[in-house]
């Protein structure tokens, strides 16, 4: 029985060419080898498989039954290998069926996914982008193993093998419903503290807004809270709660939910959103295409 370690790639190419040409001289020319070298390679191939594989006849080198059984699998394997080698260098967005996994938060999904999906339908109709929720120490590990292709957000401690590019910086805005009885643009800190607030996600980096509110005298323990931003517009539109959220989220949520927003009367550090990828995929043409798409679509000053 032939073992994979006994058969190198050139022997399989010889096998494929003999199936097609049925002539040692033609195969020698095709592989740019001398005829003795081809004859020696055929001998090694026969030894590896324990079969003559090809028998000399008046009609040329005809395959044995064993060679005929091998023909399909060998041809398929060589085709797949050839395609894999080509895919390292060429990514055709118009025809690719590649599926990318991009880590982002729910805020990221709201801001990035609609536009990414829209652009993909236009220029890469068979490409798919899956949003995945991976954070903390799991994210660098998932990217190192290739289970995540890119990450978009404000993530810390991404590891030495991670590259990044800033997309934009944004401040925070306070959302409230249009019919709110007391909230208004330009309201002072005292009035802000007196309102009821919806507190969102204490996890980094969004926890910084909650820290700023506490420093300004807002007791977070007295207010309602939710773990994710996606529910905020629904809650704020149906209550008199105020929610201080990333500015881009406020701008996109205000029109469809009948909300207004203002600059909060507290000092909150700007939120920087970056794109992250592993150094090992820096030259991958598909990853390069997706990074360029994200930069061209979302980066400020691109």
For residues 71 and 15, give the distance between their C-alpha atoms in angstroms, rounded to a whole number. 8
Q: What is the residue whose two structure tokens read 């058969």?
A: 7
For residues 283 and 86, give the distance between their C-alpha atoms in angstroms, rounded to a whole number. 14
> Fold identical between 4-87 and 172-269?
no
Residue 140: pLDDT above 80? yes
Give the per-residue pLDDT at 150: 96
CATH number of the structural domain 172-269: 3.40.190.10
Give the per-residue pLDDT at 156: 79
Q: pLDDT higher for 2 or 215?
A: 215
Q: Do residues 148 and 157 touch, judged by C-beta distance below 8 A?
A: no
Q: What is the pTM of this model?
A: 0.69
* Segment holding 261, helix H or strand E: strand 259-262
Give the per-residue pLDDT at 59: 87
Of 181, 163, 176, residue with least CA distance to 282: 163
pLDDT, one tens digit per residue, over 274-286 is: 999 999 899 899 9
For residues 240 and 18, give the distance between their C-alpha atoms in angstroms, rounded to a whole number. 80
* All structural domains of the chain with their residue ranges: 4-87, 99-169+272-298, 172-269
Average pLDDT, the chain: 90
pLDDT tier for residue 86 given thresholds of 50, 70 and 90:
low
Residue 110: pLDDT above 60? yes
pLDDT, one tens digit per residue, over 208-252 is: 888 999 999 999 888 999 998 999 999 999 999 999 999 999 999
CATH number of the structural domain 4-87: 1.10.10.10
Give the per-residue pLDDT at 302: 54
Question: Residue 173's beta-bridge partner residues?
Answer: 245
Give the per-residue pLDDT at 275: 97
pLDDT tier for residue 149 given thresholds of 50, 70 and 90:
very high
Buried-exposed string 210-241: b where 16+ CB fall within 10 A, e elsewhere: bebbeeeebeeeebeeeeebbebbebbbeeeb
Give the per-residue pLDDT at 104: 94
Report helix, strand or coil for 224. Answer: strand
Of 104, 65, 129, residue with least CA distance to 293: 129
Give the per-residue pLDDT at 207: 82
Residue 5: pLDDT above 90? no
Give the per-residue pLDDT at 196: 95
Q: pLDDT higher for 8 or 61?
A: 61
Q: Do residues 173 and 261 touch, judged by C-beta distance below 8 A?
A: yes
Q: What percent of the chain has pLDDT over 70?
A: 94
| Class of CATH domain 99-169+272-298 | alpha beta
pLDDT, one tens digit per residue, over 159-205 is: 788 999 999 999 999 999 999 999 999 999 999 999 999 999 776 67
Average pLDDT over residues 20-40: 91
Give the per-residue pLDDT at 248: 94
């Amino acid at each position: 029985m032939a073992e994979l370690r006994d058969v190198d790639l050139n022997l399989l190419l010889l096998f494929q060419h003999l199936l097609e040409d049925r002539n040692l001289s033609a195969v020698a020319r095709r592989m740019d080898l001398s005829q003795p070298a081809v004859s020696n390679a055929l001998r090694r191939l026969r030894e590896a498989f324990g079969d003559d594989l090809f028998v000399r006849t008046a009609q040329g080198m005809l395959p044995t039954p064993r060679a005929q059984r091998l023909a399909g699998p060998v041809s398929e394997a060589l085709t797949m290998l050839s395609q894999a080698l080509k895919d390292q260098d060429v990514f055709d967005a118009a025809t690719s069926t590649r599926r990318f996994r991009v880590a982002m938060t729910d805020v990221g999904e709201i801001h990035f996914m609609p536009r990414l999906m829209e652009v993909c339908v236009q220029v890469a109709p068979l490409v798919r982008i899956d949003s995945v929720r991976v954070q903390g120490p799991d994210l660098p590990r998932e990217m190192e193993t290739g289970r995540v292709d890119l990450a978009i957000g404000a993530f810390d401690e991404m590891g030495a093998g991670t590259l990044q590019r800033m997309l934009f910086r944004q401040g925070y805005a306070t959302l409230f419903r249009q019919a709110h009885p007391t909230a208004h643009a330009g309201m002072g800190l005292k009035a802000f503290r007196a309102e009821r607030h919806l507190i969102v996600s204490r996890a980094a980096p969004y926890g910084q807004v909650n820290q700023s509110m506490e420093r300004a005298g807002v007791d977070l323990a007295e207010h309602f809270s939710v773990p994710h931003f996606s529910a905020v517009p629904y809650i704020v539109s149906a209550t008199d709660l105020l929610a201080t959220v990333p500015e881009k989220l406020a701008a996109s949520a205000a029109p469809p939910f009948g909300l207004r927003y203002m600059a909060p009367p507290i000092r909150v550090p700007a939120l920087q959103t970056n794109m992250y990828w592993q150094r090992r995929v820096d030259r991958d043409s598909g990853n390069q295409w997706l990074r360029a798409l994200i930069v061209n679509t979302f980066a400020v000053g691109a």
